[in-house]
Amino acid sequence: MGLKDRPSGTCRSGVVEVNGVQVFAGLLGPEEQAALVEDLRAVVARAPMFVPVTRFGKRMSVSMTSAGKYGWCSGAGGYRYEPRHPSGAPWPPIPERLLALWREVTGLERQPDSCLINYYREGARMGLHQDRDEADFRWPVLSVSLGDDALFRVGTTTRGGPTRSVWLHSGDVAVIGGPARLAYHGIDRIRFGSSWLLPFGGRLNVTLRVVG
């Protein structure tokens, strides 16, 4: 099913562009969101969440895990993709529902080989950064928001450039690609308790990437 074939009412307000990043507002309906959360619970059961640290040794405010051939890790050795969870176990496969969403939104036959899952608790944030640990920047990054609202800030491809912000809601899907593939972006804050989706509140952000 393509974007234009979705039943009416599933998309809240169409496509919004924020400094070149496309946001498909309300693309996923309540049932699709709930089904994705169950898929992610199965991933976490096999690859438990952990709190990464920056290359400077500071603990991040988000918890994370991954699925697919590679998972993103960080620490004293820098930011990188690894074929195994910190426990030593291989990452679980990417849920088929997410792979179908990738094909639907991007139109690409090339499948992502990494799925990052970040959980934002109350007070969590993500500073402005570029997604540049992948081998080929021609492939987009697809981002899915589930749970509490998040204030998403997008800059240019130059650090310190002008930024724009938009609130992301549960079910929104963003594509960071094309000229905006290396745009600086981050989450300034979440509106804790704004969504019914996660029983204990917070936000799940799922990003699909082609690593190598």
| Domains along the sequence of the chain with CATH | 3-209 (2.60.120.590)
Residue 13: predicted pLDDT: 53
Q: Among the residues of 8-132, which ranges form H helices?
A: 30-46, 96-106
Residue 201 CB coordination number (10 Å): 17
Q: Encoding tokens for residue 86?
A: 């910190």
The beta-strand segments (E) located in 19-140 are: 21-25, 62-68, 71-73, 80-82, 114-120, 126-129
Residue ranges for the chain with pLDDT beneath 70: 1-13
Give how far the C-alpha of residue 194 lies from the chain's centroid of Cα atoms, to the nearest Å. 19
Q: Sign of the C-alpha dihedral, residues 87, 75, 102, 32?
A: positive
Q: What is the CA radius of gyration of the chain?
A: 16
DSSP for 135-162 reads S-TTS-EEEEEEESEEEEEE--SSTT--
Check if the beta carbon of residue 212 is closer than 8 Å to that of residue 111: no
